[in-house]
Amino acid sequence: MNDTTRYLVPEAVDARFNRMVAALARRGISLMGSRVLAVRGRKSGEWRTTPVNLMTVDGVRYLVAPRGHTQWVRNIRASGGGELRLGRRVEPITVTELADADKPPVLRYYLRKWGWEVGRFFEGLDKGATDEELLAVAPGFPVFRIG
């Protein structure tokens, strides 16, 4: 799983869940920190949206891509930012991608908070994973610091 091109296509059940989470966020209801991330397409320039789990660790906010190098990841890398939306609130953001060596504590927190939802994407790892295990899979899980 040490792959910088890792991308897991959402299954039908995941797509339905994502649509539900996004619909709630558009109405101003956050499920455990969920937001709608809007990022301009790197080719079209049009806004693209996806639900994300916004996470705060030690006062710093992060976005983690549990499915790997998705389109939103590629778009946010190209643009350097986007918007976090919740109801009528729109927050412009800029992001910095974390180096693989800096990801283990963030990934562990992410698994602690949302392992019930995204744990299957981590192929057997959970919140108890060692730093070495998390470092081994880090290239497949983009992490962005907001700010």
- Which tens digits make up the pLDDT trace of 92-142? 999 999 999 999 999 999 999 988 878 788 888 989 999 999 999 999 999
Q: What's the pLDDT at 21?
A: 76
Supply the DSSP symbol for 123. Answer: T
Q: What is the mean pLDDT of residues 69-82?
A: 96
Residues near 69 by beta carbon (within 8 Å), at least 6 away in sequence: 4, 5, 6, 7, 140, 142
Q: Which CATH number fits domain 12-146: 3.40.50.620, 2.30.110.10, 2.40.50.1020, 1.10.3720.10?
A: 2.30.110.10
pTM (2 decimals)?
0.85
**pLDDT number for residue 110:** 94
Q: Where do the domains of the chain lie? A: 12-146
Q: What are 2's two structure tokens?
A: 């040490």
With a CB cutoff of 8 Å and minimum separation 6, the contacts of 19 are: none
Closest by CA position to 145, among listed 56, 42, 53: 56
Q: 6 by DSSP, 3-state: which?
A: coil
Indicate the Cα dihedral angle 40, 29, 18, 128, nearest 10°: 100
Choose among 29, 20, 39: nearest CA to 79.
39
Of the given ranges (9-18, 37-46, 63-72), which has the lowest mean pLDDT? Answer: 9-18
